[in-house]
Amino acid sequence: MKTKPQNFNYSDFEAVKNIALIFPGTEESISHEGTPSVKVRGKLMCRLYDSGEFIPIRLDYEIRDRYLETYPEIFHLPDHFKNYPYICMWINIHNKKLITEVLELSWKGLATKRQIREYGENRIINGS
């Protein structure tokens, strides 16, 4: 079985991974072609694409379409992803607030109702 050559750099995913891991129940993992990823309850939340050019982030279709329309310079949708609930973010994006916002929406789509409720309660208690 042939494997594709790896064209990615783990450090390109570091900032996104560190933000994703602040959400309860997230865990660092390895996905397709040995790429670094973050999962929630065993389900893929985000990963570094094997070409190293972008980061697919799981996001409901309606939310995805809104972000694609609002931020076309940051997000795109390759043909391969059109039938899946993912949005793709270029790796050179450094808007931490926007990345956190999108990752939180992704996490909420994968977390349990209890995790979401407890996360909201903790944010109120901590004033964030």
Question: Is residue 50, in this structure, part of any structural domain at all?
Answer: yes
d(CA 104, CA 51): 25
Per-residue pLDDT of the chain (128 residues; tens, 9 = 90+): 445 556 777 888 999 999 999 999 999 999 978 899 999 999 999 999 988 899 999 999 999 999 999 999 999 999 999 999 999 999 988 899 999 999 999 999 999 999 999 988 877 777 66
**Does any domain span residue 3?**
no
| In contact, 81 and 88? CB cutoff 8 Å | yes
Domain around 105: 11-116
The answer to the question of residue 26 being in a domain is yes
Q: Could you tell me the CATH number of the domain that includes residue 16? A: 3.90.1150.30
**pTM attached to this predicted model:** 0.88
Number of domains making up the chain: 1
Taking phi over 0 as left and psi of -120 to 50 as alpha, with beta for the rest, 86 belongs to beta
